[in-house]
Structure 1
């Protein structure tokens, strides 16, 4: 890892506005934010208040503030962003894989391969999502993923910079058959805390999200027990009534899985789970690929839930980043045509081929809003949902340097994970080292 890194000449997303600024990165964290005026580092204006300041460093942590501006400019390594917009790195809380890798079957080499692909799409952290399978198969896969995540966490300076595995999203087997989607019916199971504890043990405590159907017998106390263990419960794959869904929310569920997909929709006399999700303050995932949700529905959801409670996810499968053809999800054959993934057996939609940068681009087109408003759906909101927003998800002093640089046309020019460059479009950005 570069101990000191200077990102120069960026348009940095601070709060909800882009500010011309330089960023100083040290030991993987943001240690200084230096606004620029007329192409030079500003020593006089605080961009939050507009007040004059006497210090030579406008915003810096205490240790960075001890250094002079000259020391700041002389960082060990510099990257000239040439006006690229810098936003928080993307956090995908629901992905089944990509680039030929399926998280239900991936080994360590597969995980390294897909993490490199994710980095090229702006992802700085993610939760591999393991879907319904035989309990022993799920346990083996959870253990594999946990081993890679543990090794990643132990390595303070990874040989190959890559996105972080934040934990695991367990989608199934605690799902309703009526809204199972691509999950095999014969493998679905009732809510079982003993089974969950076995799986969590295999995962080394890394299961962070569980998607479950709240109408299953015992689902409400199960939700309460998971929430007490610090696990995020996301309700989905469900035909639950409004009352049952609200009971799950009151028991501790804090999110809904791919809203309106594999979910009972509302009716004027039967509000159902969808109304509970819209009315409450829980988060809601949405798949913004133009296939799972019509653009007008995306606008409606943003208006109904608000920008602070929507989370853009990919629900991506192994075909993501590859051409149309035959693939699989959790061992079940999938046919991808025009980027639309469906089960070969019955035509049921089975995940997506969406990327996170693609989701952000689509959100702009669908909603007519700018990145300064929408960035939170791919970074800050998932971080807050997971309870890690004090560490990542926005560009603030002391937080991890999980960053994405976008050029003209939203071309992804750089992905930085924990201060390490995980992806760099060399043709656009100029990099140089000192000493």
Structure 2
């Protein structure tokens, strides 16, 4: 990717997890935010100091009062623009572009359940990409350690118990690029695998499971720190069989993925999720190759998918097969259609996912921490079109993506 720009954004309406600030400005150099404020004299001094120290091209962008947010972080997405993140280097680049133009500045590349050899090869590709691109921050393995009864759109022939030799094989193939892995904790080796991945620096996620309340608690105690797409592919809340959702609600160590498309989770339950989990929510897309494309025939792994009205379902049994959502649309509908707090919704697309991966603070994954518009954080930001939530200008670590 190109070198970071030295740039400033002025006269913006800043919205991040810390609140709303009008007439906001920021100055970026070397890929990070070096100064922020709302006073014009302070901006002049900060910009003069940075300009004097930089030989790079210098740009000042007047936002004209438009909304400015941190870049969105999607920790669970499978693709876009007719490509999946399982499709090798070219496929990853195309699918990433399909999300970047909508404000997603960082993406965990989710890999679908496949034969183990295929998953290892796909991990190799992701590891290579992550070495070259700061916008790709690792892999999420959604499978193969999922419950058959809650498989969703995953190939049942490829599901398996997470026996130690399989865990070791995936870890060895990944070259350290696995950020999270979804596991059904009730599988015979489920708790052991959660503990092993956690010890290896991978964040286990509980999901695609038939786990009860107690098993879920055991999974969290073993190291699980994410709940994969809450309400989907898991037991619901029952007054005599609480299941995984109440267990996670009780434990603040866990971040909660949520698909806000009105289809996977209908609007009243999206509102309920925000009321229950608050700042523990990480909005995700779970998007597949049809994202940004017309309705029609697609594939998810080796399974045939039909998209109608923007909703993806398996041809074989009608199961939901991911989404065609972008985080831009997820944030827009949360604020405009559901009437949720703009600060809370933006936090769920920025701070929430950053916290889930531990990248909201100095870390070994990203050069600078993510999730806020503040000095010391990465220059990941979105200027939205005037009076809208449509991404207009997008930067990742000081590099303009759109």
**TM above 0.5, one fold?**
yes
CA drift of 1:131 comes to 1.4
For 1:5 and 1:371, the matched residues in 2 are separated by 26
For 2:262 and 2:41, the matched residues in 1 are separated by 43
CA drift of 1:343 comes to 0.2
Aligned residue number for residue 131 of structure 1 = 112
- CA displacement, residues 387-415 of structure 1 (integer Å, 9 cap, x when unaligned): 11021111110111011111222221111
Aligned residue number for residue 117 of structure 1 = 98
Aligned residue number for residue 5 of structure 1 = 7
Q: Which has the larger radius of gyration?
A: 1
Change (3 A) 1:366 1:309: farther
Is the aligned partner of 1:402 residue 2:402? no
**Of 329, 340, 349, which residue of structure 2 is paired with 1:369?**
340
Aligned residue number for residue 287 of structure 1 = 259
Preserved contact between residue 18 and residue 372 of structure 1 (Cα < 8 Å)? no
Aligned residue number for residue 125 of structure 2 = 144
For 1:327 and 1:273, the matched residues in 2 are separated by 32
Aligned residue number for residue 422 of structure 1 = 401
CA drift of 1:151 comes to 2.5
Change (3 A) 1:71 1:370: farther
For 1:266 and 1:13, the matched residues in 2 are separated by 34
CA drift of 1:33 comes to 1.0
4+ long deviations beyond 6 Å: 68-72
CA drift of 1:119 comes to 1.1
- CA displacement, residues 352-400 of structure 1 (integer Å, 9 cap, x when unaligned): 0101101101211454123222111001111111011021111110111
After TM superposition, the structure 1 = structure 2 runs for residues 100-249 of structure 1, keeping only pairs within 5 Å, are 100-104=82-86, 106-152=87-133, 164-249=135-220
What SS does structure 1 have at the residue aligned with 2:395? strand
Preserved contact between residue 211 and residue 257 of structure 1 (Cα < 8 Å)? yes
TM-score by length of 1: 0.85
| Structure 1: runs of 5+ lacking an equivalent | 44-54, 154-163, 424-435
Preserved contact between residue 215 and residue 239 of structure 1 (Cα < 8 Å)? yes
Preserved contact between residue 295 and residue 307 of structure 2 (Cα < 8 Å)? yes
Aligned residue number for residue 25 of structure 1 = 28
For 2:53 and 2:358, the matched residues in 1 are separated by 35
Is the aligned partner of 1:320 residue 2:302? no
Coordinate RMSD, CA, aligned:
2.1
Change (3 A) 1:304 1:23: same
Preserved contact between residue 318 and residue 329 of structure 1 (Cα < 8 Å)? yes
Preserved contact between residue 311 and residue 382 of structure 1 (Cα < 8 Å)? yes
**Of 43, 56, 63, which residue of structure 2 is paired with 1:81?**
63
For 2:170 and 2:242, the matched residues in 1 are separated by 34
For 1:197 and 1:203, the matched residues in 2 are separated by 10
CA drift of 1:284 comes to 0.9
Change (3 A) 1:331 1:56: same
| Structure 2: runs of 5+ lacking an equivalent | 362-368
Aligned residue number for residue 38 of structure 2 = 35
Preserved contact between residue 56 and residue 68 of structure 1 (Cα < 8 Å)? no
Change (3 A) 1:304 1:78: same
TM-score by length of 2: 0.92
Preserved contact between residue 80 and residue 94 of structure 2 (Cα < 8 Å)? no
For 1:415 and 1:382, the matched residues in 2 are separated by 18
For 1:69 and 1:206, the matched residues in 2 are separated by 36
Change (3 A) 1:70 1:383: same
Preserved contact between residue 207 and residue 231 of structure 1 (Cα < 8 Å)? yes
- CA displacement, residues 117-158 of structure 1 (integer Å, 9 cap, x when unaligned): 2111100001110111100011111111211221225xxxxx
